Amino acid sequence: MAKNFTSRKENYSQWYNELVIRADMAENSAVRGCMVIKPYGYAIWERMQANLDKMFKDTGHQNAYFPLFIPKSFFNREAAHVEGFAKECAVVTHYRLKNSKDGKDIIVDDDAKLEEELIVRPTSETIIWNTYKDWIQSYRDLPLLINQWANVVRWEMRTRLFLRTAEFLWQEGHTAHATKEEAIEETEKILHVYEEFAEKWMALPVLKGLKSPNERFAGAVETYCIEALMQDGKALQAGTSHFLGQNFARAFDVKFLSKENKLEYVWATSWGVSTRLMGALIMAHSDDKGLVLPPKLAPIQVAIVPIYKKNEQLEEITKKILPIKEALEKRGITVKYDDRDTQKPGWKFAEYEFKGIPVRLAIGPRDLENGTIEVARRDTLEKEILNITDIDIKVANLLDAIQSNLYEKALAFREENTFKVDTWSDFKKQIEKGGFILAHWDGTEETEQKIKEETKATIRTIPLNNTKEKGQCVFSGKDSNQRVVFARAY
């Protein structure tokens, strides 16, 4: 274990906070509730962003950018939307400051009050749909498939780095369609994109499903989601895709002339993931020795450390290593050759282990004589001495094995911590232990709210293609035709 590093069992929350800071990923800023994402953390986010961006473009979407500020009156047009975000909105009321009369302070200039207050973007449906009114006239303008990479502000009172901050980074897609069927197809297509990214890139198994009415996005007809289980037994919502129906089209009077020459409201979707995925990545895989990164998202996939005493030895090692580094890079593998003389090899080993570098190679004078190299993998902490011949092929295969192992390990954890529960007493006992609980629910918002009030558990998802099964609601005892997934969540 890293020196003075809290273990997960000792205090999971403290373990997480210490890891984020000590792994050089992010830190708290001078602005309450906001974070500074440091270069190493941002490099991971950039890899997430690049791969997701390609997936969006491969499915026909284009990027655009819309204003950070939204007129307050826009929010009033969609009642459920404004109600859902009202408590989290930051509001701009003035546009200028001035010196106080005694010159000792800077104050708001009341003569510079805005005619209409501006909301700092908590989400962009309103400003985008006001824009779409001018972009959409005919069925020929549809579908309109737009994505935006941006920051948003939601004034959270209790914050935690990456998981919940007042300002965070995300992408938000906003699409317009001629038919209800096309919009639902888009919503489900994006959910599949999120699932594929989580499982193939993040090595994070997820459950796909629908949100209950209480958990649905404000202003949506249906919210689809992917849910993941963290190592402390809490759920984390890893992505959402919303079928908005015609709610925003009606609110902003966005109509199109159909092929039948009829004026109709368009059908809408919105969808997004955020830097919260960074928190999911950390909590799903990391251990008491620090960060563990899946190779596909690691900024540095292989670190090479020379072990030497004399400069002549370093020169010989470097001659051997540079062709290996080049061969690895030709395979698309990111490599760092750490020949710094300011730190000893042992310090470098500990640093790369804590930062979650998937593979570490070490080579010294004896390895040069024997034609070998030491290979260490971060996920299992196993080390072995391999022949240096074709080491690029061996490392590439090892990275694939690590990616697969992290997924299988996370999947096994989820399966071991998923429980069917049929009585209220068992539900209350199990929720204290954590994990996903499969239980019957009578389908009412009242029951869901009472369960949340008594246990802090919410319905995380109603799985797609859920098996129908008659039973009695775990809380009310009323009839139910399926189990849903409950958990406490971040």
- Assess if CATH 3.40.50.2300 describes domain 300-398: no
Q: Residue 294 in 3-state DSSP? A: coil
Amino acid 2: pLDDT: 56
Count of positions (residues) in the chain: 490
- What 8-state DSSP symbol labels residue 198? I
pTM: 0.95
CB of 444 within 8 A of CB of 474?
no
Name residues whose C-beta falls within 8 Å of residue 7's C-beta, 6 or more positions apart in sequence.
Answer: 1, 15, 288
Q: Where are the beta strands (DSSP E) in 266-301?
A: 267-274
Amino acid 480: pLDDT: 97
Q: Residue 375 in 3-state DSSP? A: strand
Amino acid 19: pLDDT: 98
CB of 441 within 8 A of CB of 429?
no
Mean pLDDT by groups of 10 residues along the chain of 490 residues: 82 97 97 96 98 98 98 87 86 95 90 96 96 98 98 92 97 98 98 98 98 93 98 98 97 97 98 98 98 98 97 96 98 97 96 98 97 98 98 98 98 98 98 98 97 98 94 97 97
Spatial separation of the C-alpha atoms in residues 303 and 343, rounded to whole Å:
14
Q: Could you tell me which residues are beta bridge partners of residue 484?
A: 439
Spatial separation of the C-alpha atoms in residues 462 and 313, rounded to whole Å:
61
Architecture of domain 418-487: 2-Layer Sandwich (3.30)
Amino acid 1: pLDDT: 44
Would strands 359-363 and 302-306 be described as parallel, antiparallel, or unpaired?
parallel
Tokens representing residue 112 in the block:
């510079």
Question: With helix as H, strand as E and coil as C, how does 415-472 read?
Answer: HHCEEECCCHHHHHHHHHHCCEEEEECCCCHHHHHHHHHHHCCEEEEEECCCCEEEEE
H or E element that contains 383 = strand 383-387
Distances from the Cα of 274 to the Cα of 4, 62, 278, angstroms: 31, 18, 8
Amino acid 3: pLDDT: 65
Fold of the domain spanning 12-71+124-285: BirA Bifunctional Protein; domain 2 (3.30.930)
CB of 285 within 8 A of CB of 292?
yes
Parse the chain into domains and list their residue ranges: 12-71+124-285, 300-398, 418-487
Spatial separation of the C-alpha atoms in residues 218 and 222, rounded to whole Å:
10
Spatial separation of the C-alpha atoms in residues 413 and 351, rounded to whole Å:
27
Spatial separation of the C-alpha atoms in residues 264 and 241, rounded to whole Å:
24
